[in-house]
Each structure stands twice: as structure tokens, then as C-alpha cells.
Amino acid sequence: MSDVHAVQDLAAVIHLLGNPGRLRLLTALLEGGEMCESGLAAVTGQGESGCGGPAPAARTRW
């Protein structure tokens, strides 16, 4: 992997972790495993609309 790709990947991770809502979702999934939208909403305290659909960060190339 070139340095350019490594920097781009790191920037994508920092972007993901820089959003508190996405960080709560990621933490919940890492701790609890696969969950449905209503389960994520209950665990994170977010509305289901904030938990559903493809997250932009999930569409990265890795």
C-alpha cells in the first residue's frame, strides 16, 4: 500500500470516529455484534432513522 492510500485510509477512519453518533453505533456493534435498527436505536439512544441505511463510512473501499 502506498503512503497516499495509507493517509486516505487513516483520514477515513478519523472522519468516522469524529462523529459522535457514528462512534456510538460502531461501539455498540463491536460490543454487541450484529443488531437490527431498533436494537441499535435502543442501545445508543438514537432514533431508528439515525441507525438505518448504509452509513457513508461503510461505503469506503476497505
Predicted confidence at residue 57, as pLDDT, reads 47
Instruction: Note the pTM of the prediction, 2 decimals.
Output: 0.62
Q: What is the pLDDT of residue 54?
A: 59
List all residues 6 or more positions away from 48 whose beta carbon is below 8 Å from its beta carbon.
37, 38, 40, 41
5-59 confidence digits (pLDDT tens): 899 999 988 887 888 888 888 889 999 888 888 888 898 888 887 777 655 445 4
pLDDT of 62 over the 90 cut = no
Contacts with 1 (C-beta within 8 Å, 6 or more apart), sequence order? 9
pLDDT(60) > 50: no
